[in-house]
Structure 1
Amino acid sequence: MTSGAIHRELNATYQTVLRHLQELESSGAVTTDAGEKRQGQRVIYVANRDAVRSALAGYEEYLLG
């Protein structure tokens, strides 16, 4: 999904969506198809399901013991 599509779907500002996507990418929770070349390109973001599952398992362990 592109950042523009996410911004429209969530009704959030584009800059807010970009900032969160950058954080999610930095943490490994999402990946992109763009590599390092992003200028002028449409970037597709994809959830890294294994990273999300791992994070959820960590949260569950923390919350439930």
Structure 2
Amino acid sequence: MVKQIRLEPLSRVSEVDTYSNLLSAILSEELQVSRECNGRGLCATCHVYVKEGMESLTPITPR
């Protein structure tokens, strides 16, 4: 199943496969994202703020 995400402040809409990684989806759009630990979840430089649609997200995992 595919979900849509809106990247602000770019007002850009992208599609993401369910259970895929948001960082990977953002990078596939060729957007520059600070990720000091290369997306391993160690440094918190690539965090995401969800403004709406939390009910559509998959559960948080330890990763």
Same fold (TM over 0.5): no
Structure (1 or 2) with the larger CA radius of gyration: 1
TM-score between both structures, scaled by the size of structure 1: 0.25
| Larger RCO, structures 1/2 (Cα 8 Å, 6+ apart) | 1
Q: TM-score, normalised to structure 2's length? A: 0.25
